[in-house]
Amino acid sequence: MQNHPVRFVHLSDTHIGPTRDFEVFGRNPYAACEKVLEGISRLNFTPDFFIHTGDITASMDDASYKLARSLFSRFPAPVYYVAGNHDSVSLIRKYLDFGSVSDPFSDYDLLSYVFEVHGHRFVVLDAHLADPDETRGTVSQLQLDYLRKQFVETPLPVALFIHFPPHPLDSCWIDNQMLMTNGIALHELLKEFAPRVRGVFYGHVHRGIHTSVDGLLYSSVPSVVCQFTTLPDEEEPRADADYPPSFSLVTIDGARTTIKSHVVAMNP
Ligand SMILES: [Fe+2]
């Protein structure tokens, strides 16, 4: 099955609120999600799965996750979720349906698991901390050990999903405020198995940024709601009104990973 390509939709940072008219960053997340759903329906093909790399809601309450469920249950394939700093793992588990996963940690508040599609292994790590204002994440040593196990115990290619960027992105505010605290440890582990790593996919930065580090591919997807500028010397983020909602269509075919950005126009 490993020769069969895998195609998935990567979206992130939907920041859905408790009501349909809730606004954040001057935008309406519910309306933006509706537009993305329309854009996905126009693709005229069904991906193998959808991955949401976190910050599903803005305010971590029951009503927001119910609204998220009403949107994402309309996706035509299994959906998988990553915990962001604005997420509650217990509410994700309570309200959102997942595709089939292997969840090794038996910790209800940790959203770290593995799933397989067409002979590829996908690892979801949970680096979020309890405080939603903590914009830097840390992945536990237990999870890093579990990631290593995926490479040691099987010969399968692996892709990784996490909310936070592991390394600097030539953006002053991101590099000062948004990076994982132990991204170097994650990268050093992945380097050991680089020929089998198909990519690390993340969100959090509200911008599509793609980097190659020591031959490893890292890719963020823009937010569904609002993008930020990421010029090198900016010390604080600014909303970029010219950058509409978007999602990525990712294909993993053998050793090749292809990322296509799909922009969703907000005007009718
Ligand atoms: Fe975030």
pLDDT at res. 207: 96
pLDDT band for position 194 (50/70/90)? very high
pLDDT at res. 132: 78
For the stretch 233-252, pLDDT in tens is: 999 999 998 888 889 999 99
Residue 162 to residue 22: CA distance in whole angstroms:
26
Mean pLDDT of 181-199: 98
Residue 213 to residue 165: CA distance in whole angstroms:
12
**Amino acid (1-letter code) at residue 210:** H
Would 102 be classed as within a structural domain? Answer: yes
From the CA of 75, how far away is ligand 1's center (Å)?
22
Residue 146 to residue 133: CA distance in whole angstroms:
27
DSSP state, 151? H
Residue 73 to residue 236: CA distance in whole angstroms:
35
From the CA of 200, how far away is ligand 1's center (Å)?
16
Would 1 be classed as within a structural domain? Answer: no
Would 268 be classed as within a structural domain? Answer: no
From the CA of 247, how far away is ligand 1's center (Å)?
16
Q: Give the CATH number of the domain where residue 161 resides.
A: 3.60.21.10
Total domains in the chain come to 1
From the CA of 42, how far away is ligand 1's center (Å)?
28
From the CA of 14, how far away is ligand 1's center (Å)?
10
Would 25 be classed as within a structural domain? Answer: yes
pTM of the entire structure? 0.96
From the CA of 106, how far away is ligand 1's center (Å)?
24
pLDDT at res. 209: 97
From the CA of 248, how far away is ligand 1's center (Å)?
18
| % of the chain residues with pLDDT over 70 | 98
- Across all residues in the chain, what is the average pLDDT? 94
For the stretch 87-138, pLDDT in tens is: 999 999 999 999 999 998 989 999 999 999 999 999 999 999 878 788 999 9
From the CA of 177, how far away is ligand 1's center (Å)?
11
From the CA of 87, how far away is ligand 1's center (Å)?
9
Instruction: Give the residue with greater pLDDT, 131 vs 23.
Output: 23
Its domain, for residue 105, covers 6-263
From the CA of 250, how far away is ligand 1's center (Å)?
21
Would 53 be classed as within a structural domain? Answer: yes
| % of the chain residues with pLDDT over 90 | 87
Ramachandran region, residue 118 (left: φ > 0; alpha: ψ -120 to 50; beta: rest): left
For the stretch 30-66, pLDDT in tens is: 999 999 999 999 888 899 999 999 999 998 999 999 9
pLDDT at res. 245: 84
pLDDT at res. 1: 52
